[in-house]
Amino acid sequence: MKNAFSSMWRVGGVFLLILFLFPSLDVFSEDKPEERIRELEKKIQLLTEEIQKMKSERPTEKEDRIEEIERRLEILAEEIQDIKSAAVVEEPTYERAFGLGPAASKVYRINRGLSIAGYGELAVSQFREDEDNIIDAQRLILYAGYKFNDRIIFNSEIEFEHGTTEENLDEREGSVSVEFASLDFLINDYFNLRGGLLLVPFGIINEVHEPTTFFGVLRPDVERFVIPTTWRESGAGIFGEVSDIIPGTLSYRAYVINSLDSRGFSASGNRDARPSGNRARFNDFAFVSRLEYDPFPGIKFGGSWFIGQTGQNERVNGEKIDGLFQMYEADMQLLWKGLEARALFVYSFLDDADLININNGLEGDESVGDEQFGWYVEAGYNLFSLVDWGEYLQYFAPFIRFEKFDTQKSVPAGFTRNPANDRQTLTLGFSYKPIPQVVIKADYQRRDNEADISSDQFNLGLGFVF
């Protein structure tokens, strides 16, 4: 514990030093083409005034000077054009569209053609007591989209994880994968079609997980172990929103997708049950849907549900595994002045857990949970919203998050629960954004479980979107 706090204060000190030095560094200096254009236009105005004065001069003197002025005007016009050409990349508005994150929504904001966006969590440092410290190029994401016309849009996300696909000396490797790749057919505000490899619309983080959009270096544990974020499956469905006949805005997404695979269920959670579009068995399909209601700006209520069989044609002693899996979730998000808060609750049910245990070779307290649950609450406050601190001191938000979850809330008869899977996590930290697209994060995490096993961890991370 002492070592963990020592690491926390050491790295935290470095972070604070960076925080107060950054405003003076050249990395934040931005070219301002608008100012240069105004300066050149002022020169053109002066030259125009000079032409007016020439009207009283003798013809030969006037002709020579007009030729010189025209040459200078041509040079100034060319420079203005060069500046405008160099600034063809427009500043993104970072508004969400159709359930996706701000950067992932970029293709919907262009007129036509190719769109490139992305995000990165390039360096995440984790300091654990009595374990090796780890620094990880966690993610680099590219969004590639193409707007064929106002009705048909392709969008995709390609993910590079952990710096390389090769094994390191600890026999751990990264990956390159397609996070989603879909075609949208836009009909009207209320009803549209989507098909392909889809982000499953479940919970808060799964669809919107760009680093500037959530607190903490790491995503919430509840949305990693109970809700297996990032979760994508192949399928098709409908989406839309209603805002003109009700107060506020009601949006929805409803898909039919290939279901989870029961061979991946375990005592610790559902992550390995995701086929993720990789030659997945499609013997069972599932229905998933999410509703979001914004009664007025700054508050959002959401709910998600998933239901589908997961047996994927597996049998135990000739008996087919149905493995009906149901998961339900409710959440709330609040943004009011400098306050940001979230709360989420999720509960799941799994049929045929005993057959799945036998099929997966699980015994005793290794059983999958036939019931799971999880919840978390978090809140942060942007202190820089209270006072105008200057251009690069616009966002500094300390936050706290508490999570409670159990992936073996209940197990089938003949098996036992492992108290180590009844867990809770406390996270304390802060996020600093020198500009809205860049975030520096630091936090301390305390993890405990009912087996009286605890761990301390300090994280420092960098993130960006574009």
For the chain, the domain total comes to 2
CB distance 253 to 190 below 8 Å: no
Query: Do 54 and 140 have their domain in common?
Result: no
Cα distance between residue 111 and residue 146, in whole Å: 10
Given 70, 86, 102, the domain boundary residue is 86
Query: Do 132 and 80 have their domain in common?
Result: no
Q: In sequence order, which residues have a C-beta less than 8 Å from that of residue 117 and are 6 or more positions away?
A: 92, 103, 104, 106, 107, 142, 143, 145, 465, 466
Query: Do 79 and 204 have their domain in common?
Result: no
Instruction: Number of helices (H) and strands (E) in the chain: give both, helices first.
Output: 4, 19
**Could you tell me the CA-to-CA distances from 248 to 97, 245, 260, 323, 370 in Å, in that order?**
16, 9, 34, 39, 38
Type of residue found at 263: R
φ, ψ of residue 19 in degrees (nearest 5) = -55, -45
Given 52, 86, 120, the domain boundary residue is 86
* pLDDT attached to residue 73: 72
Type of residue found at 252: Y
Cα distance between residue 257 and residue 197, in whole Å: 9
* pLDDT attached to residue 63: 67
Domain enclosing residue 43, as ranges: 33-86
* pLDDT attached to residue 312: 95
Query: Do 336 and 451 have their domain in common?
Result: yes
Per-residue pLDDT of the chain (466 residues; tens, 9 = 90+): 444 444 444 444 444 444 444 443 343 444 456 677 777 777 777 767 776 666 566 555 556 666 777 777 778 777 777 666 555 445 555 688 898 999 999 999 999 999 999 999 986 767 666 677 888 888 999 999 999 999 999 999 999 998 888 888 887 888 999 999 999 999 999 999 999 999 999 999 999 999 999 999 999 999 999 999 999 999 999 999 999 889 999 999 999 999 999 999 999 999 999 998 888 898 999 999 999 999 999 999 999 999 999 999 999 999 999 999 999 999 999 999 999 999 999 999 999 999 999 999 999 999 999 999 999 999 999 999 998 877 778 899 999 999 999 999 999 999 999 999 999 999 999 999 999 999 999 999 999 999 999 999 999 999 999 9
Query: Do 307 and 208 have their domain in common?
Result: yes
Query: Do 14 and 57 have their domain in common?
Result: no
* pLDDT attached to residue 165: 83
CB distance 328 to 287 below 8 Å: no
* pLDDT attached to residue 37: 73
Which residues are registered as beta bridge partners of 448?
A: 424, 454
Look up the pTM and report it: 0.80
CATH number of the structural domain spanning residue 242: 2.40.160.10
Query: Do 149 and 212 have their domain in common?
Result: yes
Query: Do 254 and 294 have their domain in common?
Result: yes
Query: Do 289 and 410 have their domain in common?
Result: yes
Closest-CA residue to 100 (of 244, 30, 198, 243): 198
Q: In sequence order, which residues have a C-beta less than 8 Å from that of residue 219 and are 6 or more positions away?
A: 205, 209, 229
Between helix 33-53 and helix 59-86 the angle, nearest 10°, is 170
Query: Do 78 and 157 have their domain in common?
Result: no
Type of residue found at 315: R
Cα distance between residue 65 and residue 59, in whole Å: 10
Query: Do 78 and 203 have their domain in common?
Result: no
φ, ψ of residue 333 in degrees (nearest 5) = -130, 135
Total residues belonging to the chain: 466
Closest-CA residue to 171 (of 183, 162, 180): 162
Given 86, 103, 119, the domain boundary residue is 86
Query: Do 290 and 144 have their domain in common?
Result: yes
